[in-house]
Each structure stands twice: as C-alpha cells, then as structure tokens.
Amino acid sequence: MSAPELALDAPEVAARRREFAVLLGEFRRTAVLVPLGDGPGPDGERGFLTADLGGIRFILAFSDEHALARYAQVRGEYRREWTYQTILGARLLDVAVPAAGVPCGVALDCADGEDGLVFPPVRGIVPDEAAVDHEEGEAT
C-alpha cells in the first residue's frame, strides 16, 4: 500500500519545505569538500567527482574528511589518496552547477544514507537558467 498523497498546501508539506530551506541556507554558507575526479573539467583541469543518476549529474560534496572517508570506505577505495577542494556551498550551486552544461545538482555526504542531502537542479536551489523546471524563454 502506498503512502497517502499530501496536498501541496498541507501543513506537513509546508513544515518540510521550511526545514529544507533551513538546510539549504546552511549548505550555501558552509565550505564543503569536493573531491576531484579523474577526468578533465571544462578548462582542462581535473573536474569535480560526479555521479550520474536518472539523467542528472550530481557533484559529490562532503561535510568533512570523515564523511569523505566513509564514502571511500563504501567504494572500497579507502587506501587511495583523495585530492579535494574546499568550496562554499553557494559557489557550487551558483557557479559549478550552471558550468556543468548538463542538468546538475549536488549530493552532500552521499555515503551517509538518510543523513545525506540532495540538492536537485530546480528553481530555488540553483540559478533558474540551470534548473530543469525552467522553460526556455520563461520570465524569471
């Protein structure tokens, strides 16, 4: 049996939106660790470590070295040296996501199950021009 659908104006939905807005604000103000992948980025430098899921690319970010170590452990790559950059969450969402050139969001602490967060490429999270729910020519 599926969970009952909630109306978009239901108090539970409004409360969850407020909670997410707080988490998004905290993420935007926080410096996170972003491992570098093996392939080149747009300027020929090493690009960020990403994962593609359902046609959307996610930049993998970690709240601290312990979260990155948990990810490495899950991948069986804990002995490898992980090169990363420390980047403000707002810069990831506002600059790196649009620069990806494909639908892109950010996954924070992706090895932490329910404690991880996903910031999808939708309006209110990423710039409108990078949002998948933004129509070309639509007024912003």
* 60-78 pLDDT per residue, tens: 999 999 999 999 999 999 8
pLDDT number for residue 37: 86
pLDDT number for residue 140: 47
Three-state secondary structure readout of the chain: CCCCCCCCCCHHHHHHHHHHHHHHHHHHHCEEEEEEEEEECCCCCEEECEEEECCEEEEEEECCHHHHHHHHHHHCCCCCCCCEEEEEHHHHHHHHHHHCCCCEEEEECCCCHHHCEEECCCECCECHHHCCCCCCCCCC
Q: Which residues of the chain have pLDDT under 50?
A: 1-2, 140
pLDDT number for residue 10: 78
